[in-house]
Amino acid sequence: MSKATVSAPANIAFIKYWGARDLERALPMNSSISMTLEHCVTQCTVEALEREGIDEIWNAEPDGGFGTPEPEFAQRVREHLARVRKWAGRSEAVRVATRNTFPTAGGLASSASGFAALTLAAAAAFGKKASTKELSLLARRSGSGSACRSVLGGFVEWAASRGNGNLDDDSYARQLADADHWDLRNVIAVVEIGPKTVSSIEGHRRALTSPYFDKRQELLPERLEKARRAIRERDLTALGPVIEEEAIDLHLIAMSSHPPIFYWSPGTVAVLRAVRELRQEGLAAWATMDAGANVHVLCDADSEDDVAERLEDLPAVGFVIRDGVGPGPDEETEHLF
């Protein structure tokens, strides 16, 4: 097939990728664990053209029109397309359009879903069949490392290394449990919209300058094990403290990097406070943030309405997005162009 459309979901990290051994190839310092979302997705159509040369890259707008993406983003897409083309053994140029179902670049992992969708749609347009492992490796090499987790549904672990030698072939994601395993909900309190002030790539670079970086690395093996166990046992009261601790550590490292990075806004603190109050009232709700100000609140299905209403009422919250665990990417028959 020369034209393919794939929708790939965003994911929210419980244990974060923050700091790399090799930034260009997105080889992380530590393993990470995430939950794949259901509704926050990127759709991507790739068509292999009957010519070689320059790729055409478009943003699909909600009104059905097409716009030109930011030059920096377009450049990253071109580089990744060159990588996928080489891997697939093809030479044709492609036409690409992408569309997000959620606000981009607000710490809502738009690059992860975007580069996962691009990888899978380009592989399909080039007619190249591959294992999930291969596709996860390829998505990781986009440089948006967390994209390697968005290739899978449910609960996912991306290993820093699986102990088989060459790190570049060895650092990819695998499913810990599928989407049906646990009906966990993610209420996203959006307190800031628009691009983040400092990119994740820059954050990874600066992370190693924080005096707390090594300390977190020491704590991680136990934290990873607790997260795996809590997911296996569907135990939110065990998972919750681990993910909150981990999110605070990421931001502690960002704030103590040289130069420092402050992703939080006053709204972030207001939501964190509300989440604590919800817990005092007996609801199991736990917060995490990626490299942005918005807060992802994890809760069970029975608490979702209460959590969403409380967060919606906060003056600092623009709106909430209600999401849950999703089954992973999907090839669609309807194309964006």
Residues lying near ligand DP6 in the complex (CB under 6 A)? 13, 16-18, 32, 109, 111-112, 144-146, 200-201, 290-291
Is residue 298 within 8 A of residue 286, CB to CB? The reply is yes
Least Cβ distance, residue 208 to ligand DP6 (angstroms)? 14
Is residue 12 within 8 A of residue 247, CB to CB? The reply is no
CA gap 7, 97 in Å, rounded: 12
Least Cβ distance, residue 49 to ligand DP6 (angstroms)? 27
The residue (of 152 and 278) whose beta carbon lies closer to ligand DP6 is: 152
Least Cβ distance, residue 205 to ligand DP6 (angstroms)? 10
The residue (of 48 and 227) whose beta carbon lies closer to ligand DP6 is: 227
Q: Give the residue among 42, 59, 178, 209 at the shortest CA–CA distance from 112.
A: 42
Is residue 107 within 8 A of residue 291, CB to CB? The reply is yes
Which residue bears the tokens 């549904």?
153
The residue (of 291 and 308) whose beta carbon lies closer to ligand DP6 is: 291
Query: Which residues, at least 6 apart from 171, have a Cβ–Cβ distance to it below 8 Å?
Result: 27, 28, 137, 140, 148, 158, 159, 160, 161, 162
Least Cβ distance, residue 16 to ligand DP6 (angstroms)? 4
CA gap 190, 296 in Å, rounded: 9
Least Cβ distance, residue 76 to ligand DP6 (angstroms)? 9
Q: Give the residue among 37, 16, 15 at the shortest CA–CA distance from 179.
A: 37
Please provide residue 286's backbone torsions phi and psi, each rounded to the nearest 5 degrees: -140, 145
CA gap 140, 131 in Å, rounded: 14
Least Cβ distance, residue 107 to ligand DP6 (angstroms)? 7
Least Cβ distance, residue 301 to ligand DP6 (angstroms)? 24
Least Cβ distance, residue 211 to ligand DP6 (angstroms)? 19
The residue (of 16 and 310) whose beta carbon lies closer to ligand DP6 is: 16
The residue (of 7 and 146) whose beta carbon lies closer to ligand DP6 is: 146
The distance from CA 193 to its chain's CA centroid, rounded to whole angstroms, is 17
β-partners of residue 95 are 47, 56
CA gap 159, 298 in Å, rounded: 23
The residue (of 29 and 122) whose beta carbon lies closer to ligand DP6 is: 29
The distance from CA 83 to its chain's CA centroid, rounded to whole angstroms, is 21
The residue (of 112 and 236) whose beta carbon lies closer to ligand DP6 is: 112
The residue (of 145 and 153) whose beta carbon lies closer to ligand DP6 is: 145
